[in-house]
Amino acid sequence: MRSPSLLRTGPALAALTAAFAMSQFFRSCLAVMAPELSADLGLDPAGFGALSSAFFLAFGLIQVPVGVAFDRWGVGRPTSVLMALGVAGGLMFSLSHGAAMATLGQVGLGMACAPVFMGLIHYASEQLEERRYLRSLSVSNGLGMLGVLCAASPLGWAVQHFGWRPAMLVATGVMAVVCFAVQRTVRDRGHADAHGQSSLAMLRGSLVLLKVPALWALVPVCLGMASGTAFRNAWGGPYVADVFGLDPISRGSAMTVISFVAFGCAFAMPLAARRFGAQAVIVGTMLGSVLAGLGLMLMPDVSLGLDLALLSLLAAAGTLHPVVMTAGRGTVAPALRGRALGVLNTFVFVGMAAASAGYGWLARYGMRLGRSPGTVYAGLFGLAVLALLMALAPFAWSAWRRRAATA
């Protein structure tokens, strides 16, 4: 029976929402401070791409073990332990004076943020009835996007006036407070059906999930979302700095525009999926992102206002995350949900790591050829469009086949 007291679930959901906001901040913060960070650490575009990809690679590779931990021990303990690790990673990153130490810090931060959104979905789905679950997820997803907003104009102002290191030290301190809140309020105990299984058996069970056709239909979308999200999380700041010459405060304002669009989409996506169906929302959003990417590829340096609007639409593909996770959650038995979310999240964040690193390599190649910044970024946008189309085609085909089979 899933009707726990609001006095118990309310503080836990609030703590997990705050943790999600911190996760969103750390995912997005490099975009605003990229030029200053790169200059301080001596990074070229490929080096910056590798640094930003370290966060997402660590984030993605531990998703399945995190899913196992959720099924076995619940959300609270694994999340608080990994967030404590992230506090150490944040300190290491803030105090780093070279690429190696900064990369290790990003790995720690990626591991800390890895369980948060999946934990929020898992905890809410286990503790709340369906109607409250959807409403709570929509609100938490929207409020969590405040972390993205804080990583825009406020962070740009802080970087301009104090530097990126003090700004990141403050953010690390906030993470420590949120970690304590999660440890104190999220007291679930995992799923009873998973308690009798060994961790190795549960990991093998996660691999068996790859045989579920309904999950494979979502894998291309998980990978494709990254091509747009990488511009909000890492490459949007370098783009407006290199092409339009924006300083940290102006970059922060530009990223705020993108973040507000993401904020609105985060609220709207779960509700739209409930009204029109997940398949329609996924296909429609990805088509919109493809068109925006084509516009940026053809007009990368025409107008800051126009290109920011198009960049916001391109990055909107990333806000499909809760829709995809909820669709995946519904394809497996309750005792496997944590692991199913882990499998899907692995593809999401490994895709982000690949996109961020790939954009860096392509940008370095273009600059070595002497191409203008506009031409270099046109190539990046073209690569994003290609990735989105490669994700959309198999998903749309699978959806059409399922609809034809049930007609």
Residue 196, domain member (yes or no): no
Q: Report pLDDT digits (tens) over 246-268.
A: 999 999 999 989 888 887 887 78
3-state SS, one letter per residue, for the chain: CCCCCHHHHHHHHHHHHHHHHHHHHHHHHHHHHHHHHHHHHCCCHHHHHHHHHHHHHHHHHCHHHHHHHHHHHCCHHHHHHHHHHHHHHHHHHHCCCCHHHHHHHHHHHHHHHCCHHHHHHHHHHHHCCHHHHHHHHHHHHHHHCHHHHHCCHHHHHHHHHHCHHHHHHHHHHHHHHHHHHHHHHCCCCCCHHHCCCCHHHHHHHHHHHHHCHHHHHHHHHHHHHHHHHHHHHHHHHHHHHHHHCCCHHHHHHHHHHHHHHHHHHHHHHHHHHHHHCHHHHHHHHHHHHHHHHHHHHHCCCCCHHHHHHHHHHHHHHHHHHHHHHHHHHCCCCHHHHHHHHHHHHHHHHHHHHHHHHHHHHHHHHHHHCCCCHHHHHHHHHHHHHHHHHHHHHHHHHHHHHHHHHHC
The pLDDT, as a whole number, for residue 366 is: 93
Has residue 192 been placed in a domain?
A: no
What is the band of 293 on the pLDDT scale with cuts at 50, 70, 90? very high
Cβ-Cβ contacts under 8 Å for 110 (sequence gap 6 or more): 54, 55, 56, 57, 58, 59, 89, 349
Asked if the structure places residue 194 within a domain, the reply is no
pLDDT band at 363 (very low <50, low <70, confident <90, very high): very high
What total of structural domains would you count in the chain? Answer: 1
- In the predicted structure, residue 407 carries a pLDDT above the cut 60: no
Note whether residue 168 is domain-resident: yes
Look over the chain and give the mean of its residue pLDDT values, rounded to a whole number. 86
Calpha distance 280→272 (Å, rounded): 9
End-to-end CA distance of the chain: give it in Å, rounded: 35
Check residue 198 and give its pLDDT.
63
Q: What angle do CA 114, 118, 121 make, to 5 degrees?
A: 155
* pLDDT at res. 1: 41
Axis-axis angle for helices 116-127, 130-144 (nearest 10): 160
- Whether 167 contacts 158, CB under 8 Å: yes
CA atoms within 13 A on the CB side of 36: 22
The angle, 0 to 180 degrees and rounded to 10, between the axes of the packed helices 278-298 and 321-329 is 150
Say what the pTM is: 0.81
In a domain, 35, yes or no: yes
Q: What is the pLDDT of residues 383-395, one digit of tens each?
A: 999 999 998 888 8
Q: Name which residue leads in pLDDT, 342 or 194.
A: 342
Gap between the Cα atoms of 362 and 379, Å rounded: 8
Residue 297 lies in a domain: yes
Chain segment 201-237, per-residue pLDDT in tens: 666 666 676 677 777 778 888 888 888 888 988 899 9
Residue 111 pLDDT: 95
**CA–CA dist 255, 26 (Å, integer):** 14
Query: Looking at the domain assignment, is residue 2 inside a domain?
Result: no
Report pLDDT digits (tens) over 44-76: 999 999 999 999 999 988 888 887 888 788 888
Of 322, 331, 328, give the one whose Cα is nearest residue 341.
328
- pLDDT reported for residue 300: 94
Q: Is the pLDDT of residue 194 over 60?
A: no
pLDDT at 34: 92
Domain that holds residue 386: 9-186+201-406
pLDDT in tens, 166-184: 999 999 999 999 999 999 9
Residue 37: predicted pLDDT: 94
Does 343 or 299 have the greater pLDDT score? 299
Asked if the structure places residue 4 within a domain, the reply is: no
Side-chain-facing half-sphere of 179: CA atoms under 13 Å? 21
What is the Cα–Cα distance from 51 to 98, expressed in whole angstroms?
A: 11
The tens digit of pLDDT for each residue in 306-342 reads 999 999 999 888 888 878 877 777 677 776 776 777 7
349 contact partners, CB below 8 Å, separation of at least 6:
56, 57, 59, 60, 63, 110, 114, 226
Question: Which pLDDT value is given to residue 277?
Answer: 82
The CATH number of the domain holding residue 365 is 1.20.1250.20
What is the arithmetic mean of pLDDT over 75-79? 91
**Buried-exposed string 261-287: b where 16+ CB fall within 10 A, e elsewhere:** bbbebbbbbbebbbeeebbebbbebbe
**Closest C-alpha to 79, from 232, 190, 210:** 190
Look at residue 126 and tell me whether its pLDDT is greater than 80: no
